[in-house]
Amino acid sequence: MVRFKNRYITIEIVPKIENNKVLTLRTAALQNAIQAKVQQLYGDFGSAAIKVGFQAKYCNAQTKIALIKSRHGPHKFILNCIPLLSDIDGRAVTVNILYVGATIKHCFIFIRTYQQKKLEKMWDTFRNDNERREMQKALMQLTTSMKNNKQFRTSVSGYDIFKVHKTLCS
């Protein structure tokens, strides 16, 4: 049996118009925006190449971080298109590629360290320990939609991602 190699792309979605509202991110909207950009740049060839195995796996509205899964090879089309995205679901955004990994486990490890560094930068702006704990809890939380996704439950080699994430966060 042939093993399919995947690439997991961790991105940060920054809204161009800064306001206090939480940016609502949907995985379907992100996936459609990327597919439309690949179609625009590479035509039917690029669109057909990424179609199999392409999926927006995770979007966190609070941290504005998303995870995209793609097959190895066509992931290059996606990597070239992501920085050119300017509109997701009718909102003007800038998209930054943070990390490209071979396993979802390594992407979670990267996200955890990235969010921890971000939290340390923001630490001085909080007035008391309650605010600090609430922010840390919000940054390190996994969404319920991600927990319910069956493909997240089992990763490469049968690891349970949530057990791994739980041990890393403690």
Report the alpha-carbon distance of residue 68 to residue 19 in Å, rounded: 26
The verdict on residue 83 lying in a domain is yes
Class of residue 80 by CB neighbours under 10 A (exposed 0-12, middle 13-18, buried 19+): middle
List helix spans (H) across 24-72: 27-51
Is residue 81 situated within a structural domain? yes
Please tell me the predicted confidence (pLDDT) of residue 122.
78
Is there a domain that residue 78 lies in? yes
Long-range contacts of 50-54 (CB under 8 A, 24+ apart): 50/74, 50/75, 50/77, 50/78, 53/4, 53/6, 54/78
Q: Domain for residue 158, yes or no? A: no
* Over residues 6-19, mean pLDDT: 90
Lowest mean pLDDT among 60-64, 68-72, 136-140, 145-149: 145-149
Residue 147 lies in a domain: no
More confident residue, 170 or 109: 109
Q: Rounded to two decimals, what is the model's pTM?
A: 0.74
Phi and psi angles of residue 29, each rounded to the nearest 5 degrees, phi first: -65, -40
Residue 15 CA to residue 123 CA, distance in Å, equals 22
Give the pLDDT confidence of 73-89 residue by residue, as tens digits: 999 999 999 999 999 88
Q: Measuring CA to CA, how many Å separate 65 from each of 16, 49, 57, 129?
A: 15, 25, 11, 25
- Contact call for residues 4 and 67 (beta carbons, < 8 A): no
**Does residue 29 form part of some domain?**
yes
Identify the CATH number of the domain in which residue 74 sits.
3.30.70.3250
Token pair 């057909």 is found at: 48
Domain that holds residue 23: 6-104
Other beta carbons within 10 angstroms of residue 107's beta carbon come to 25
Domain count, the chain: 1
Does the residue 132 lie in any domain? no
Does residue 61 sit within a domain?
yes
